[in-house]
Amino acid sequence: MTMNDELVAEYLAAVDRAAADIPPSRRQDLLADLREHIAAARAELDPETEAGIRTILDRLGDPAVIATAARLDLTPPPAPPVPQPIRPGAAAARRGPGIVGRILIAVVAAFVLFFVVCAVGLLAYRTAGGGPRTGPVTVVTDAHPPSRPPG
């Protein structure tokens, strides 16, 4: 391992220690991203020198600051709750009918009951022989003509 590789390994180890409280999968992603960035920057160095490597690592920043930034990325602020659209009458539908609704239901039920009782009573009356008679109709008229005053 060259001196430049040792500098990179020490830097990544310092980031790993500073980020010890970050979940392992996130910490490994962070280290992989740093390795990739360092490798790309090293490829641009011509020639690769210790000073060039130190400059790359200095530009990345302090390992503690990188770990803090990674922690902040882990805990995004909670999203505000999504308001549910309010439908007219939705609250009333959940609560059930109010007092006016209950009165209306009672009145309708009373009318229905009244008409059912009337229909049953009329049917019973007809069945028992009540109602209009069928057969010859006798018309009774007054047999005496009205009297006329004399004169």
One DSSP character per residue, 97-108 reads: --HHHHHHHHHH
**Do residues 11 and 58 both lie within one domain?**
yes
More confident residue, 123 or 134: 123
Instruction: Tell me, yes or no, whether 66 and 109 share the same domain.
Output: no
What pTM was estimated for this model as a whole?
0.49
Statement to judge: residues 9 and 65 lie in one domain = yes
Mean pLDDT score of the chain: 79
* pLDDT tens readout for residues 103-116: 888 888 888 888 88
Dihedral over alpha carbons 100, 103, 104, 106 (to 10 degrees)? 160
| Cβ-defined contacts of 10-17 (< 8 Å, 24+) | 11/38, 11/57, 11/60, 11/63, 14/63, 15/63, 15/66, 15/67, 17/63
Are 65 and 108 in a shared domain?
no
In a shared domain, residues 7 and 69: yes
pLDDT for position 149:
67
The pLDDT of residue 69: 86
Q: Determine if residue 61 is left, alpha or beta; phi over 0 gives left, psi from -120 to 50 gives alpha, anything else beta.
A: left
Whole domain around residue 105: which residue ranges? 98-127
- Specify whether 51 is located in the same domain as 105: no
**pLDDT digits over 55-114, tens only?**
999 988 899 988 888 888 765 455 556 565 666 655 555 566 677 777 888 888 888 888
